[in-house]
Chains A and B, each alone.
Chain A
Amino acid sequence: MISSFKKALDSGKFIITCEVAPPKGINLEKTAHHIELLKDKVDAMNLTDHQSSVMRYPSLGGALMVKEMGGEPILQMTCRDRNRLALQGDLLFAASRGIHNVLCLTGDSVMLGDHKTAKGVFDLESSQLLAAIRTLEKGKDLGGNDLDGSPAFCAGAIVTPEANPIEPQLIKFEKKIEAGAEFIQTQAVFDLDKFKSFMEYARQFPVKILVGIILLTSAPMARFMNKNIAGVNVPQPLIDEIAQAPKGGAIAKGIKIAGRMIKTIHAENICDGVHIMAIGKEELVPDIMAAADLTS
């Protein structure tokens, strides 16, 4: 089973993915609205997995919704909350229900979320989860036992191009590719010159790179990310630009900035696609795409 996302990756077109966050609770209206709005505009949508260690409706449930609504899901799976039995079981379930794209993440510490006293599992980490997927595809589980019916996935991972220091991060990036990553969605990028030099390095590997673009919604939000999110660095000129937006116009300015960056990346063919993170404002993804002159 080759997923439509995998076909799109292989087609050489400029890929567009975005994020949809499942709700805190079982009111799925807003999530369904976002899926309906975006499913025909993007190549695939990521379903976040208890993002920032905040307990929510599961990514697997969100991915099923996308599938049932006719969209293309990318199931995000972190290693924070499940051991290798649970991860493999969920992968089998996903494949059995037509979910064939997985983004493998180690996961944030539980200490950063809303259940700080919970046990962080980390039985596997991102590169081992990728390797586990490749093992399942060969009809074996991690215990070396035969599977009765094996799954197939398009598997991906993440990288932080602006990590400091970068060298250990790049070793990990190469291990993820060795373990089987076919696509990489990056942490938010704001400095295109730095990203270009990362891409000069990354181009040597057989992997599709989708640049992570976060929608800036205000100057304080940009400063908050600089202070609190590892590997995210919003340059001062961009903070100034959004701070100078007229009252009530910060989001419009943020859309313009995101659109401008995507447009440049696309026009200069810097990488293989874009992963748009509109964090809670997914309904604005079509506006960002329009600002970038991207059509579905």
Chain B
Amino acid sequence: MIRSITKPKSIEEIERLLDGLNRIFIIGCGTCVTLTHTGGAPEVAAMKEILLESGKLVTGQIVVPVACDNLTSEILNEEMGKIEQADVLLIMTCAFGVQTVSSQLKKMVVPALDTLFIGKETAYGQFNEICTQCGTCIIGETGGICPVTNCHKGLVNGPCGGTNQGKCEIDSNKDCAWTLIYNRLMELGRLDSMRKLQGPRNFLGEPTPGKYEISKS
């Protein structure tokens, strides 16, 4: 299942963002950030302790089931008394959750996490980015492995000169996407597809911010 993958901001950055804001309500989420241990019930409880130790007042906390769901507002309504007492909402969800809450409550929000990518758990405790949603899918020609996502430079014509022992120039623990693609196409007997000179990528798959409506016709 795809997940929004997050990592905690440093305590120093959170303290800076909360400077002058003393009454805090904390929101976690029961979905992706619970899986990544960045904003589930234990992390929300730990954050509360940190804030109390630094002299802040925590007016309340909640772990909503799915922060990015439109129904989140109804759950938060039940906590409105404690929320209204707060100067700020410290939100331990991905940025989808943070923006959902901020649009629903019209209240100052501070994200406690950085949202890294949309990915999936590929091994226990390990998350990988699989698709960057570029809008112009080319994996029909690359053996089902996306170089736009898996190659650090998003190259579509083969490896750069930085590939080393099948690994990426920026991280010897990252596989070179083009070594993976080569091996896959070799197995499939489809190396011709890698020999085709690809033209410049179309970056206009869907201009940012993405928007899509189901056709009414």
Interface residues of A (CB under 8 A from B): 84, 105-106, 108-109, 111-112, 120, 122-128, 131-132, 142, 158-160, 163-165, 167-169, 171-172, 174-175, 178-179, 187, 230-231
B97 vs chain A, min Cβ distance (A) = 26
Q: Are B178 and A168 in contact (CB under 8 A)?
A: yes
A-B contact count (CB 8 A): 93
Residue on B nearest A187 in the bound complex, by CB: B161
Instruction: Tell whether, in the assembled complex, residue A165 and residue B182 are in contact, meaning their CB atoms are under 8 Å apart.
Output: yes
A171 and B194: CB pair below 8 A?
Answer: yes
Given contacts A106-B161, A160-B161, A179-B197, 4 further A-B contacts (CB under 8 A): A120-B152, A122-B155, A131-B199, A230-B162
Chain A residues with CB under 8 A of B169: 108-109, 112, 230
Asked whether A131 lies within 8 Å of B197 as measured between CB atoms, the reply is yes
Given the known inter-chain contacts A122-B154, A125-B153, please indicate yes or no for A175 contacting B163, CB distance below 8 A.
no
Contacts A167-B182, A171-B182; A125 near B159 (Cβ below 8 A): no
A171 touches B195 (CB 8 A): yes
Closest 4 CB pairs of A and B: A172-B158, A230-B164, A168-B182, A122-B153
Neighbouring A residues of B197 by C-beta, 8 Å = 127, 131, 175, 178-179
Determine which residue in A123, A172, A178 has the highest number of CB atoms from chain B within 10 A of its CB, and name it. Answer: A172
Q: Are B200 and A168 interface neighbours, CB within 8 A?
A: no
DSSP majority for the B interface?
A: loop
Instruction: Decide yes or no whether B160 CB sits under 8 A from chain A.
Output: yes
Q: Which residues of A contact B195 (CB under 8 A)?
A: 171, 174-175
A158 to B162, CA, bound (A): 12
Check B161–A231 contact: CB distance below 8 A: yes
Q: 26 interchain pairs (CB within 8 A)?
A: A106-B155, A120-B153, A122-B153, A122-B154, A122-B155, A123-B203, A127-B157, A127-B197, A131-B197, A159-B161, A164-B164, A164-B165, A165-B179, A167-B182, A168-B182, A171-B182, A171-B191, A171-B194, A171-B195, A172-B157, A172-B158, A172-B159, A175-B197, A178-B197, A230-B162, A230-B164
- Closest Cβ of chain B to A185, distance in Å, is 11
Known contacts A106-B155, A179-B197; A164 and B166 CB within 8 A of each other: yes
- Interface members, chain B 163-181 (any A CB < 8 Å): 163-166, 169-170, 176, 178-179, 181
In the complex, what distance in Å separates the CA atom of A169 from the CA atom of B161?
A: 8
Cβ B161 vs Cβ A158 within 8 A: yes
Measured CA separation A126–B155 after assembly (Å):
9
Does B201 count as interface, using CB distance less than 8 angstroms? yes
Known interface pairs A106-B153, A109-B153, A174-B195. Does A169 touch B159 (Cβ–Cβ under 8 Å)? yes
Contact A168 B153, CB 8 Å, known A109-B170, A230-B169: no
Contact A165 B161 (CB under 8 A): no
Q: Which residues from chain B contact A112 at a C-beta distance below 8 Å? A: 169-170
Please indicate the chain B residues that have their CB under 8 angstroms from the CB of A168 in the complex.
158-159, 163, 176, 178-179, 181-182, 194
Q: Which chain A residue lies CB-closest to B154?
A: A122
Q: Which residues of A have CB within 8 Å of B64?
A: none
Kindly state whether residue B27 has any CB partner on chain A within 8 Å.
Answer: no
> Does B156 touch A at the CB level, under 8 Å?
yes
Known: A167-B182, A187-B161, A231-B161. A128 touches B200 (CB 8 A): yes
> A residues within 8 A CB of B166?
164-165
Smallest distance from the beta carbon of B51 to chain A beta carbons, Å? 29
Complex Cα–Cα for A230 and B179 (A) = 14
CB pair B160 A106 closer than 8 Å = yes
